[in-house]
Structure 1
Amino acid sequence: MGQTPSTPLSIFMGHFKDVRKRAHSLSLKLKKKKFITLCKAEWLTFGVGWPRKGTFDAELIEKTKGIIFGPHCHPDQVPYIVVWQDLVQDPPPWLKTLLPASKEKTQALVTKEVKNKGGRPESQSKGPPVLSDSSSYADLIDLEWHTPPPYNSKGAPEAPEAPAVQENVRPPTRGPAFETRQRTGQTPDLEPVRALPLRAVGPPGVEREQAYQYWPFSTSDLYNWKSQNTNFSDNPRDLINLLDSVLFTHQPTWDDCQQLLKVLFTTEEREQIQGEARKLVPGEDGRPTINPRVIDQTFPLERPPWDYNEAKGRESLRVYCQTLMAGLRAAARKPTNLAKIGDVQQGPEESPAAYLERIIKAFRQYTPIDPTAEESKAAVMIAFVNQTAPDIRHKMQKIKRLGEKTLRDMLKVAEKSL
């Protein structure tokens, strides 16, 4: 009896322990059953020619990845296609021998053979390597995410060419989830490189204008930001802090901001944020304006012709990001619903710490109050004391100078009363 021929999917499933290790090295998690379902069913529906048995074809994998990260993105499928692509691009020993030889390698071998046949000794035909074994730009090949068309750059000085990327070269510390936004080379004589959307390159031009080079967000950054933060409607503070940091440190373009809004927020949340932001567009006096022309120019809903290689374009982006953050904070403010706070009662078997955590969460969810702020201490304290279990409440209410106590003090009293 002959053996059943191996397929890409069956090979991965036969070495799933190693596949899982690779995913772990990329800070990702996989489930075997879902891996099989995606390969045999879901990815077949994308219309790119994905076979039920899986594939090692780099172009086909890239097309499938493009659908997953595209306009109708599938965040839950990201880990699976990222790991699949990573295994093919940087194969472990058990996979190397099974991969078909690439056209580039075959062409290189043919070229080398022809040169040697011309009488040139093989030792002399070897030139110095184009790149060292570790390239500080090696991971940038993964930054496709439907890169937006280039902005206008009339008269802008040309940025120097980035070093060519050598295929299949991966730095030892690799992975889409490792040190998000940072591509650090291992070559001793090179400084670490941060791949930001806008990065100054070279000296200023003739007119003292600094040239900027554009790097899009990596797909892994977006995936990690999405998976590591709670929903905006549940806890807006986390995403506000994240966006505040990203907009300040990464200098994103208008298209980058749309990516962030699309990945991190629901359609309803995104429309609310944009609506609030457009109400807060600053006029000439710095106060919110109602002039529709100024609003459309400052906070456009369609891609604007802002050139980041010009001071005017960068200033427009700066004001846009500031207005976006103002809209984000405005959208996070919710009407006060103290009845919901009153509904939070300590359960019979609930610890005081868990009960306090629910009180704080309710304040964040149903009021615009920050329960950790000093001015909110009294409101949180009253709710904690009045809604705790009856026996604990009686002991707390007998404490002298209750208003001078901290939540930590009251938590200790509650725990001792158990």
Structure 2
Amino acid sequence: MGQSLTTPLSLTLQHWRDVQTIAHNQSVDVRRKKWTTFCSSEWPSFNVGWPQEGTFNLDIISQVKARVMDPGPHGHPDQVAYIVTWETLACNPPPWVKPFATPQVPPLSIGPSPSTPSLTCSGPATSTVLPPGDDLLIDLLTEAPPPYQEPASAREAAPAAAAPAPIVPAPSPVAGRLRVRREPTPDSTSQALPLRTGPNGQPQYWPFSASDLYNWKNNNPSFSQDPSRLISLIESILVTHQPTWDDCQQLLQALLTTEEKQRVFLEARKNVPGENGRPTQLPNEIDAAFPLGRPDWDFSTAEGRNHLRLYRQLLIAGLQGAARHPTNLAQVKQVIQGPEESPSAFLERLKEAYRMYTPYNPEDPGCNLPMSFIWQSAPDIRKKLERLENLKESSLQDLVKEAEHVGNLISCSSAFSETSLNIWKFTVHVLLKPGL
């Protein structure tokens, strides 16, 4: 009877330490609260068949993953780490998942399932924005040819092994950009990892396609406009694609300016861990972990993959560090409420100034935003807010509410004064009219 109450979601929560370990092995971090929210609320709203109690069905998981990794405005970069971890649980189930995993149907023993396009593509996916055949973009975005060229024998072995598998277009450029082909066996399940061991025992590789780079660049804001959104995009690409060093340079060249790249590299090199786990200052250790020149890292070896994993983690740390703006409170103080501007609209402009010119989060209770709101409001509103009895205990919402009230009183008073003046003028005009 107890087993009948067990669901995939409750099962993962019971083995949460194992789930976190699996996520960490993929260089991502998952939180228990978000895991529950995405599974029970977000993913069911995609209308692809995801139940509130979760599922290990690869068909449904792949459809949710396609929605999450959509490169356009409807994607959910913050959910990539969670759906990728869930997919890993279904692809390589630990002992406690196997009894609940969806059994494979006979067609899966013949070739990869059409429901998991990220595992069956043998090349870049067809993009709805730019056809993948337009290779001219590679010349515009990078001066170097695609890296890590495979020997001729390896290149010949890959197509031969993949011949029986049907080619299915991926639902998104992110899911479609694969570098691996592998012939599935009846007792194995495919996993969405770009670098996988092929039939010849060596990982097989495809570089970024021109359409991927074009779509990522044109469907997302620039780093200076919205750094957090672009960081989420790059982080999801690093997690799902596991790019090589050359791939990372090509990706950054497409999405960042030269100055932005230099700031990212500087911040990343500040975070290189030493032997004690703290950031090191030794140049040789920094160059070994985050080299500025092309390193001799072989992704086909465990050592090379470990180097690349650390490099990608440092790259994310560098992006996050470069996104922090230097403090410039003078620019913040220049944001003054306009004569006809509502307190709510003024507050939004003030928040945007804090995000742009300071490293502070305006939503943080410790931020000095409430005092800035008071001092930089319109003069009449500022005088009223400064005289509040419980000013120190007032929240930002209380201040906005009071400011709206004062603004309404001022508007009514101005309208009343104008009406009274018009009446007085009319009275004088009538009294002075000849013949009365």
Q: Following the alignment from structure 2 to structure 1, what is the Cα–Cα distance between the partners of residues 343 and 311? A: 45
Deviations 1:128-148 (A, max 9, x none): xx9999985387262864762
Decide whether the 8 Å contact of 1:183 with 1:193 is kept in 2.
no
Give the aligned partner of residue 175 of structure 2. 182
Amino acid of the structure 2 residue aligned with 1:367:
T
| Residue equivalent to 2:146 | 148
Hey, what does 2:382 align to over in structure 1? 393
CA drift at 1:166: 11
Partner Cα distance (1:300, 1:329) in 2 = 19
Distance in 1 (alpha carbons) for counterparts of 2:244 and 2:205: 9
Structure 1 residues 194 and 268: CA distance shift in structure 2, 3 A:
farther
Q: 1:299 to 1:151 in 2, by over 3 A?
A: farther
2 CA distance for matches of 1:181 and 1:160?
22
User: How has the CA–CA distance of structure 1 residues 165 and 391 changed in structure 2, closer, same or farther, with 3 Å as cutoff?
Assistant: farther
Paired positions, count: 267
Q: Could you say which residue in structure 2 is the equivalent of 1:137?
A: 121
- 1-structure distance, mates of 2:162, 2:283: 45
SS of the residue corresponding to residue 148 of structure 1 reads coil
C-alpha change, 1:413 and 1:225, in structure 2 (3 Å) is farther
* Pair 1:325 & 2:320 matched: no
Tell me what 1:299 maps to.
290
The answer to whether the 8 Å contact 1:151/1:307 transfers is no
Equivalence for 1:384: 373
| 1:366 CA drift (Å) | 1.3
CA distance 1:314–1:166, change in 2 (3 Å): closer
Matched, 1:275 2:266: yes
CA gap 1:412/1:163 in 2 versus in 1, 3 angstroms: farther
Asked if 1:375 is matched to 2:358, the reply is no
Preserved contact between residue 222 and residue 256 of structure 2 (Cα < 8 Å): yes
Q: Which residues of 2 match residues 24-63 of structure 1 at below 5 A?
A: none
Following the alignment from structure 1 to structure 2, what is the Cα–Cα distance between the partners of residues 405 and 164?
69
Shift of 1:346: 0.9
Deviation at residue 150 of structure 1 after TM alignment: 1.9
CA contact (8 A) 1:229 1:239 kept: yes
Per the TM alignment, residue 243 of structure 1 is displaced from its structure 2 partner at its CA by: 2.6
Q: Please, which runs of 5 or more residues in structure 1 have no aligned partner? A: 1-129, 185-191, 206-210
**Cα deviation, residue 200, structure 1:** 3.0
Structure 1 residues 352 and 183: alpha-carbon distance in aligned structure 2, compared to 1, 3 A threshold: same
Q: Which amino acid aligns with 2:148?
A: P
5 Å-filtered alignment, 1:218-367, equals: 218-367=209-358
d(CA) in 1 for partners of 2:113 and 2:309?
38
Q: CA RMSD in A?
A: 4.1
| Cα 1:235–1:249 shift into 2, 3 Å | same
Q: Given the superposition, is the C-alpha separation of residues 204 and 284 from structure 1 closer, same or farther in structure 2, using an over 3 Å criterion?
A: farther
- Report the 3-state secondary structure (helix = DSSP H, G, I; strand = E; otherwise coil) of the residue aligned with 1:370: coil
Q: Which residue of 2 aligns with 1:200?
A: 196
Q: How far did 1:160 drift?
A: 7.8
* Cα distance change, pair 301–410 in 1 and its aligned pair in 2 (3 A): same
Aligned with 2:207 (options 204, 210, 216): 216
- Contact map agreement 1:138 1:166 (CA 8 A) in 2: no
**1:387: how far off?**
0.8
**1:151 offset after TM fit, Å?**
6.3
1:408–1:214: structure 2 CA closer, same or farther, 3 Å change rule?
Answer: farther
The answer on whether the counterparts of 1:222 and 1:260 sit within 8 Å (CA) in structure 2 is: yes
Contact 1:182 1:193 in 2 (8 A): no
Task: Report if aligned partners of 1:159, 1:212 keep a CA contact under 8 Å in 2.
Answer: no
Query: Compared with structure 1, are the counterparts of its residues 284 and 139 closer, same or farther at alpha carbon in structure 2 (3 Å cutoff)?
Result: closer
Spell out, residue by residue over 1:19-51, the C-alpha distance to the aligned partner (whole angstroms, 9 max, x if none). xxxxxxxxxxxxxxxxxxxxxxxxxxxxxxxxx
Counterpart in the other structure of 1:127: none
Distance in 2, Cα, partners of 1:334 & 1:311: 37
- Structure 2 stretches lacking a partner, 5+ long: 1-110, 126-131, 140-144, 178-188, 409-436
Quick one: distance in 2 between partners of 1:313 and 1:292? 20
User: Could you tell me which amino acid in structure 2 is paired with residue 200 of structure 1?
Assistant: R
Alpha-carbon distance change, 393 to 282 in structure 1, aligned in 2, over 3 angstroms: same
One-letter amino acid of the counterpart of residue 390, structure 2: R
- 1-structure distance, mates of 2:236, 2:287: 25
Assess, with a 3 A threshold, how the Cα gap between structure 1 residues 193 and 399 changes in structure 2: closer, same or farther: farther
Q: Distance in 2 between matches of 1:281 and 1:399?
A: 50
- 2:391 is matched by which residue type in structure 1? L
The Cα of 1:252 is off from its aligned counterpart by 1.8
Deviation at 1:266, TM superposition (A): 0.8
Q: Percent identity?
A: 49
Distance (Å, rounded) in 2 between the aligned partners of 1:162 and 1:140: 18
- Residues 123, 206 of structure 2: 8 Å contact kept: no
Return the offset for 1:223: 2.8
* 1:263-285 deviations in Å (ceiling 9; x for gaps): 11111111222123223322222
